Amino acid sequence: MSAPPRDDAPAYSEAEKGILETEMPRRLDIAYPKDEKKDAYPDEKREMTQVSTLPVLELKKDTPAPANRPKPAAKPKKKVPKWILWQLWFNTYRKLFTITFSLNMIGLGLAASGHWPYAIRYNGAMAVANFNFAILMRNEIFGRLLYLFVNTLFAKWTPLKFRLGCTSVLQHLGGIHSGCATSGVAWLVLKVVMVFKARSTEHMSVVVLGLITNVAVFLTACAAIPWVRNTHHNVFERHHRFIGWTALFLTWAFTIANDIWDTTTQTWNLNGRHLVKQQDFWYVMGMTTFITLPWICTREVPVDIELPSPKVAIVRFRRGMQQGLLGRISRSAVKEYHAFGIISEGTHAKYHYMICGVQGDFTRSLVNDPPKALWTRELKFAGVSNTSTLYKRGIRICTGTGIGAALSTCIQSPYWYLIWIGSDQEKTFGPTISGLIHRHVEPERLLLWDSKLRGGRPDTMKILKEVYHSWQAEVVFITSNYIGNSEMMQGCKEAGIPCFGTLWDF
């Protein structure tokens, strides 16, 4: 693939020439295996079997060897203006959460004070309606349809601010999920309180089911608290999923029992027509559907695993994918699913790949005990990179294993510039990833920084600013660890560069 000719493309700036000449002066030869039997993927034909050339940031001849070179002194931490930190903290996620939760609390206050009779009468429906919408926001099918709708209708021609707003809302739909889920818990508490106050006319089983359901829903919500989710991922997965499923069954029982118990006649109304006319019945039906649909797409699929180094496992799956997607994989059908970015040459490709950096028990097991098959949801979910089609030109910057989420965008679109910062990338990530970069990303839109070769990390903001202006980019997508992501997001915000960073709420 070659970059499209641009008649209006500007000449490189002096600063950019400095980057290209001093930081990317020559090429590094990368030998690919000649013997197909030694290849990790013998059935995959390679375009390059001898030598490929990946542009890298190389030391000058008069520079001492990296082993003898003292490490540069740590730069003093730059003081970030408080208004920048506020903008990054009060992002679209928190804005959507605030709007959703505030509207619900206003309604809850009106209901509790007797100023909204409808909400008092149908308080159960208000609770499960919120849960219904919360689950919908996390449904892979709904998400893919939403991304498809926005990418199809608003790509490139709409004002940049509008497109940036679309990306921001799509990336932070979790704010609506959290807002509705938290509000649903509050509405459910009101429902149970109302049932308990009327316990003289309510059947005891309805009261007990209400209390148990409330506890199960509350525990499900607690398991999704950011601190639990980010620091104890397996705890989050198991409790949020299995207690959540228990809460769903209890919600069914509580809803049906509450709907068929007639407080006036003190009898059970077993007429099915009466039950299906209730709002909350259909809301719970919607919850069940949205939870079940993604699991219908779960399959155990064969995989091949390449181990270029002890730090990384490259997992290869059959069939190609569009760019900007992420997939969940597990050794079990229902336990501990982990999300990774997908690398693919396109929907026509024979394979797609996931880069799994060794960080926890699951990824370590892929290196120590490589499986022949993994469980995955065949329907992948869209990430922020999927909105790259909205923009005329952009920059994808990543560090380390972040290349797994970034590379597809630059492979499948010649309008995206790739910056990859890592340590000894060829040795760490192997010839498969290097080959994909070489074959599909031209040198004029590629900047690699080997921190081991260069003795440290680059001035990422200097590079980003230069490339942003010379490439005439509209947006920057960042995939890095927490510290790197924060530094680049702060720098871009301060420089007025539109950017979107990594999320940790999968």
pTM: 0.82
CATH at residue 315: 2.40.30.10
- Residue 167 half-sphere exposure, CB side, CA atoms within 13 Å? 27
Task: Calculate the average pLDDT of the chain.
Answer: 85
Residues 396, 447, single domain; the answer is: yes
Residues 252, 401, single domain; the answer is: no
- pLDDT at res. 263: 85
Percent of the chain with pLDDT over 70: 84
* CA dist., res. 69 & res. 327, Å (int): 41
Number of domains in the chain: 3
Contacts of 296 (CB under 8 A, 6+ apart): none
Percent of the chain with pLDDT over 90: 69
Residues 96, 30, single domain; the answer is: no
Q: Which residues face 378 on adjacent strands? A: none
For 373, other C-beta atoms within 10 Å of its C-beta total: 11
Which of 42-56, 148-162, 330-344, 447-461 bottoms out in mean pLDDT, i.e. has the lowest? 42-56
Residues 216, 306, single domain; the answer is: no
Residues 167, 98, single domain; the answer is: yes
| pLDDT digits 0-9 by tens, 192-213 | 999 999 888 889 999 999 999 9
**Lookup result for tokens 């009468």:** 121
* CA dist., res. 392 & res. 95, Å (int): 28
- pLDDT at res. 27: 35
**Lookup result for tokens 């008649």:** 7
CATH at residue 23: 3.40.50.20
68 falls within a domain: no
Strands 261-262 and 446-450: unpaired
H or E segment and range at residue 261 = strand 261-262
| pLDDT digits 0-9 by tens, 124-182 | 999 999 999 999 999 999 999 999 999 999 999 999 999 999 999 999 999 999 999 99
**Under a CB-based contact definition with an 8 Å cutoff, are residues 137 and 174 in contact?**
yes
447 falls within a domain: yes
Residues 198, 168, single domain; the answer is: yes
| pLDDT digits 0-9 by tens, 253-268 | 999 999 999 888 888 9
Both structure tokens of 49: 């079997």
- pLDDT of residue 74 exceeding 60: no
Residues 92, 201, single domain; the answer is: yes
76 falls within a domain: no
Cα→Cα distances 434→170, 194, 374, 427, Å: 31, 63, 25, 10
Q: 3-class SS at 69? A: coil
Both structure tokens of 168: 């921001």
- pLDDT at res. 432: 94
- pLDDT of residue 90 exceeding 70: yes
* CA dist., res. 191 & res. 119, Å (int): 10
| pLDDT digits 0-9 by tens, 167-183 | 999 999 999 999 999 99
Structural domain including 128 reads 85-264+275-296
Cα→Cα distances 295→139, 210, 291, 376, Å: 10, 27, 8, 10
Strands 381-382 and 338-344: unpaired
- pLDDT at res. 43: 39
User: What's the rounded mean pLDDT across residues 492-502?
Assistant: 95
Residues 222, 104, single domain; the answer is: yes
| pLDDT digits 0-9 by tens, 380-425 | 999 999 999 999 999 999 999 999 999 999 999 999 999 999 998 9
User: What's the rounded mean pLDDT across residues 332-360?
Assistant: 92
282 falls within a domain: yes
User: What's the rounded mean pLDDT across residues 217-225?
Assistant: 90
- pLDDT at res. 73: 56
- pLDDT at res. 240: 86
| pLDDT digits 0-9 by tens, 24-71 | 433 333 333 333 333 433 333 333 323 333 344 433 333 444 445 555
Residues 315, 292, single domain; the answer is: no
Of 338, 366, 382, which one is at a domain's C-terminal end?
382
Q: State how far Cα 116 lies from the chain centre.
A: 39
| pLDDT digits 0-9 by tens, 228-244 | 887 777 788 888 889 99
126 falls within a domain: yes
